[in-house]
Amino acid sequence: MNLYPAIDLKDGACVRLLRGDMDKATVFNNDPGAQAGEFVAAGCHWVHIVDLNGAFAGEPVNGGAVDSILSAVGDKAKTQLGGGIRTMKTVDYWLNKGITRVILGTVALRNPDFVKQACAKWPGRIAVGIDARDGYVAVEGWAETSEVTALELAQKFEDCGVTAIIFTDIDRDGAMGGPNIESTVALASAISTPVIVSGGVSSLDDLIDVAKHTDAGIDGAISGRALYDGRIDLAEAIKALS
């Protein structure tokens, strides 16, 4: 199972939010490139990047920080990037820049056909981020909750080439209360697209619990705060999961 260490970018710094609240951001590192370098040195195969400002603005904001991450990572790990990616021009820009795959979130709800067009243009390089509050999809940087369930949205992208669904339980995000394994497994079992768990991973035991469900379609888990505050040792976790 893959472990995706997270770099969430706000105003150029690596931060973690509590349940998606931009006013409750903790800065962990002012140098995103250096942080990515630490993750790579620990042996990660992926780095998960979110442009938080971009998610609210609807367009990339932390481009310089992403560039520094790409420079630090080089060819030593793969990268996935979400936040404010809502046009084909932006998709093209980041994938041509060297991002391994982009994550489409708000636009996936607003315009599912766009996701399918992006998948056709960039096979194997498009993921969909589904962030849910009480089971319903939240968009615009989690500021707005829709009337569409996570499963309903995920089913729209079956067989169109989406490489992964990144499922975040917003109420668990940054709260260190453990991931919502039950809901994630239920989602993964109902679709054919691999699912990545996000939100609430707080210990190596959490990761091991998630790894028990790979047969249900769980591809991996994203962890942020627990890595920054030392609850999870990245090198130890990668070794345990491999």
Question: H or E stretch including 36?
Answer: helix 32-41
CB 196 within 8 A of CB 217: no
Strand partners, 5: 223
Give CA–CA dist 47/212, Å, rounded. Answer: 22
What's 216's DSSP letter? Answer: G
Catalytic residue among 8, 169, 173, 219: 8
* Known catalytic residue at 8: yes
> H or E stretch including 50?
strand 46-51
**169 has catalytic annotation:** no
How far apart CA 153 and CA 115 sit, in angstroms, is 12
Q: Which is the catalytic residue, given 11, 75, 92, 131?
A: 131
Q: How many CA atoms lie within 13 A of 30 on its CB side?
A: 0
Beta strands in 69-122 (DSSP E): 78-82, 101-104
Query: Any idea which residues carry the catalytic annotation?
Result: 8, 131
